[in-house]
Amino acid sequence: MSIDPETARQIEELSRDNRPLLVLDVDDVLVEFIRPFPDYLKSKGHELRLESFRLHGNVYDTASGEPAERETVSGLLDGFFADQEAWQTLTQGAAEALASFGEAAEIVLLTAMPHRHRDTRRRLLDSLGVRYPLLTTEAPKGPAIHALRGTSGRPVAFVDDLPPNLVSVREHVGDAHLFHLMSDNALRNLMPPLDDGIHTVDDWPDAAPRIARALGI
Ligand SMILES: [Mg+2]
């Protein structure tokens, strides 16, 4: 699997940096997703019944009680991201954790979201006081983080709530330190055990010192 060409272009715009690299997912790592999304769905006549760890198949039309079609769920998700500034807020402890890293690491945000929402997400993050560079990708994250690291062999840490993203990074950056953080830990009950080498963190206060140690900062 190769890098999304638009993501590669976005990486080219960044200044070359040799500090330890910390890459963060956005939804349910830096900002809340799974808590506000059901409220958004309700405003659109739908509801989320999380019986498994996925959105498709778990969204229902409130009036009919029928499960929503795949295209309907995709459309609702797209609508939520278009309107994210009205719904999403920072995950608890994220701001303090980021502040604790200071300038010791290069921090980059990598969100798996259609590129057309990048400007909206940038505005959301700016409004929340989060100024780090934001990359969007429509392809697996591993190749993007491999490119971001550059050739210096600097330490890399990556935080995401979706195991497939962590596995993708492990495949492309074998020595990356991988952390699984979920803004809503109740969802862990719906997931299979994590693969070896992926570290579970309870929340940002738990994650911050472990990330700092991994990066040597
Ligand atoms: Mg996420």
pLDDT mean over 120-137 = 97
Alpha-helix runs per DSSP H in the chain: 5-12, 36-43, 70-82, 94-101, 118-127, 142-149, 163-172, 204-215
pLDDT band at 70 (very low <50, low <70, confident <90, very high): very high
pLDDT at 115: 97
The chain-wide mean pLDDT, for the chain, equals 97
pLDDT band at 204 (very low <50, low <70, confident <90, very high): very high
Q: Is the pLDDT of residue 1 over 90?
A: no
pLDDT band at 55 (very low <50, low <70, confident <90, very high): very high
Distance 24 CA to ligand 1 centre (A): 9
Distance 103 CA to ligand 1 centre (A): 24
Distance 209 CA to ligand 1 centre (A): 21
Distance 63 CA to ligand 1 centre (A): 29
Distance 26 CA to ligand 1 centre (A): 6
pLDDT at 112: 95
On whether the 5-32+89-215 domain is CATH 3.40.50.1000, my answer is yes
Distance 196 CA to ligand 1 centre (A): 20
Distance 183 CA to ligand 1 centre (A): 9
pLDDT, tens digit (0-9, with 9 covering 90-100), for 95-118: 999 999 999 999 999 999 999 999
Does this model's pTM top 0.95? My answer is yes
pLDDT, tens digit (0-9, with 9 covering 90-100), for 17-33: 999 999 999 999 999 99
Distance 104 CA to ligand 1 centre (A): 24
Domain boundaries, the chain: 5-32+89-215, 36-86
3-state secondary structure of 113: coil
d(CA 147, CA 29): 22
Cβ-Cβ contacts under 8 Å for 17 (sequence gap 6 or more): 106, 150
d(CA 29, CA 45): 27
Distance 115 CA to ligand 1 centre (A): 16
Distance 118 CA to ligand 1 centre (A): 15
pLDDT mean over 54-83 = 97
pLDDT band at 172 (very low <50, low <70, confident <90, very high): very high
Distance 85 CA to ligand 1 centre (A): 16
Distance 150 CA to ligand 1 centre (A): 24
pLDDT mean over 132-145 = 98
Q: What is the CA radius of gyration of the chain?
A: 17
pLDDT at 91: 98
